[in-house]
């Protein structure tokens, strides 16, 4: 380590509680940075904060599967979701459609397909179970029906009640 490096004694590590390996690495780095002082190490380790991330799920499906996805989310008491119709292209085979061109009819393959996007934020502890249910309930290996994109979310805020965090993401939370 460069002796001329300016080192502050506060470090912040944003990690998922399910990812213990990264947390251990973060502690090792913090200890290495402050290794010349045992008292400093204890102080530094106490300042490392861990957040429990939530997951934003962007679920792209064919319109016919919306009720299945909604039912799965309700089974996990997910309190909020939105959906909209989108156009896009991916690995799924595009369907040929017949178009009228004056007096004739021709078959064309559109560049984009209609899909339904379901967006929700769920507690990190439920994300994998929800994803497994969706993946195992819709389509088959020979028939892809969509895709799920997962993003880390550091916090959510409920407007009006001023509550925040993953407790507001399920119907189990109560408004005071």
pLDDT at 151 over 50: yes
Segment 35-42 long-range contacts (CB within 8 Å, at least 24 positions apart)? 40/9
pLDDT tens per residue across span 28-64: 666 665 555 545 545 544 444 445 678 999 999 999 9
Domain ranges of the chain: 7-51, 54-169
- Stretch 13-27: mean pLDDT: 56
Distance CA 164, CA 132 (A): 27
pLDDT at 168: 82
Cβ neighbours for 23, distance < 8 A, ≥ 6 positions apart? 13, 15, 50
| Residues of the chain by 3-state class (helix, strand, coil), percent to 5 | 30, 30, 40
Joined together, the tokens standing for residue 160 give 């009006």
The separation between CA 74 and the C-alpha centre of its own chain, rounded to angstroms, equals 17
Higher pLDDT, residue 164 or 130: 130
Pairing, β 146-153 against β 113-123? unpaired
Other beta carbons within 10 angstroms of residue 70's beta carbon come to 14
Specify the pairing of strand 97-101 against strand 82-88.
Answer: unpaired
Q: Is the pTM of this model over 0.85?
A: no
Question: What whole-number distance in Å separates Cα of residue 124 and Cα of residue 126?
Answer: 5
pLDDT at 82: 94
Q: CA-to-CA distance for 157 and 139, rounded, in angstroms? A: 34
Yes or no: domain 54-169 corresponds to CATH 3.30.70.120: yes
- Range with the poorest average pLDDT among 73-77, 87-91, 125-129, 172-176: 172-176
Q: Give the integer Cα–Cα distance in Å for 155 and 57.
A: 14
């Amino acid at each position: 380590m460069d002796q001329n490096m300016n080192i502050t004694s506060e470090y912040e590590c944003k990690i998922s509680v399910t990812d213990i390996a990264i947390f251990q690495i973060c502690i090792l780095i913090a200890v290495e940075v402050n290794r010349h002082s045992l008292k400093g190490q204890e102080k530094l380790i106490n300042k490392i904060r861990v957040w429990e991330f939530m997951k934003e799920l962007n679920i792209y499906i064919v319109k016919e599967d919306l009720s299945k996805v909604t039912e799965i989310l309700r089974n996990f008491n997910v309190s909020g979701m939105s959906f909209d119709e989108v156009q896009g292209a991916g690995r799924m085979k595009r369907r040929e459609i017949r178009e009228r061109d004056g007096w004739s009819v021709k078959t064309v393959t559109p560049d984009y397909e209609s899909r339904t996007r379901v967006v929700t934020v769920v507690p990190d502890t439920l994300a994998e179970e929800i994803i497994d249910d969706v993946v195992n309930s819709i389509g088959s290996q020979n028939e892809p029906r969509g895709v799920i994109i997962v993003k880390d979310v550091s916090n959510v805020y409920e407007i009006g009640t001023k509550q925040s965090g993953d407790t507001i993401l399920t119907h189990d939370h109560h408004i005071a």
